């Protein structure tokens, strides 16, 4: 009977150790996967931020260009200021008439 009890104890001990190693392996794998995903997300966020910065610069440049065009054409400014603006005589004259 003692031999059987020792054999059962060894089997139980082996099973417990196997389960503990399996749990540790799962936790280790999960941590590695999480870190890899975090690194990928950081890279994607950096790329998106760079694209947003580029788009903001493009919008700023477009706004400045539009403001210059509106200023030249006298669009959106009071009539007195439009008459005094550079190019006002060109816009008011009609060369085809």
pLDDT band at 2 (very low <50, low <70, confident <90, very high): low
pLDDT band at 18 (very low <50, low <70, confident <90, very high): very high
> Is there a contact between 88 and 74 (Cβ–Cβ < 8 Å)?
yes
Mean pLDDT over 51-58 rounds to 96
Distance CA 94, CA 5 (A): 112
Q: Is the pLDDT of residue 95 over 50?
A: no
């Amino acid at each position: 009977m003692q031999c059987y009890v020792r054999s059962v104890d060894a089997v139980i001990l082996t099973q417990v150790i196997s389960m503990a190693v399996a749990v540790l392996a799962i936790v280790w794998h999960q941590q590695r996967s999480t870190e890899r995903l975090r690194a990928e997300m950081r890279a994607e966020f950096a790329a998106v931020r760079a694209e947003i910065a580029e788009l903001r610069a493009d919008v700023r440049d477009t706004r400045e260009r539009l403001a210059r065009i509106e200023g030249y054409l006298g669009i959106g400014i009071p009539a007195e200021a439009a008459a005094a603006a550079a190019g006002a005589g060109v816009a008011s004259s009609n060369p085809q008439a």
